[in-house]
Amino acid sequence: MSPEIRPITAAETRLLRHRVLRPRQKPNTLIFTGDTHPLALHAGAFVPDPAEAERLVGIASVTPEPCPAAPRAFGWRLRGMATLPDVQRKGFGAALVNACLDHIRKHGGTVVWCQGRTSALPFYRAMGFEPYGEEFNVPLSGPHFLLWRSLS
């Protein structure tokens, strides 16, 4: 099953942000800096669902933000990357990241970065990201790495 990737609103990302990324946190933590930036992209992965016509199963957001690993480049930050457990490891996350990378390239970005969970390090490495710096802890979320990749 292949997902349909298409733009969604920042508000449409929040249910999955809460369910997958921050289930123990308050709703106001689901509104990220950059969500309303005019160049931001919020991408959703949809699959057919007999009960609802379609179901949102994954999300990712990108917005211009300088990259700590390459501060002079035109950096973009990937945030709120999440897929529901029943579709993980089926290519949906890669499809979302690739849609975000296409959007960044279209808008002249040269670097993309994120704070990825340590448990997702193999996924991000497979997508061409490399760690920058040491592992750090995000309160209520756990261990993370700053990850980045060049788009040139």
pLDDT tens readout for residues 109-129: 999 999 999 999 999 999 999
Query: How many distinct structural domains can be found in the chain?
Result: 1
- pLDDT, tens digit, for every residue of 67-99? 999 999 999 999 999 999 988 899 999 999 999
Q: What is the pTM of this model?
A: 0.92
Concatenating the DSSP letter of every residue in 65-134 gives --BTTBTTS-EEEEEEEEE-GGGTTTTHHHHHHHHHHHHHHHTT--EEEEEEEGGGHHHHHHTT-EEEEE
Across residues 130-150, what is the average pLDDT? 92
CATH number where 22 lies: 3.40.630.30
What is the C-alpha separation between 2 and 79, in angstroms, rounded?
Answer: 22
Q: What is the pLDDT of residue 142?
A: 87
Please give the residue range of the domain that contains residue 80. 4-150
Proportion of the chain above pLDDT 70, given as a percent:
99
CA proximity to 56, closest of 44, 64, 67, 68: 44
Proportion of the chain above pLDDT 90, given as a percent:
72
On whether the CB atoms of residues 42 and 9 are closer than 8 A, the answer is: yes
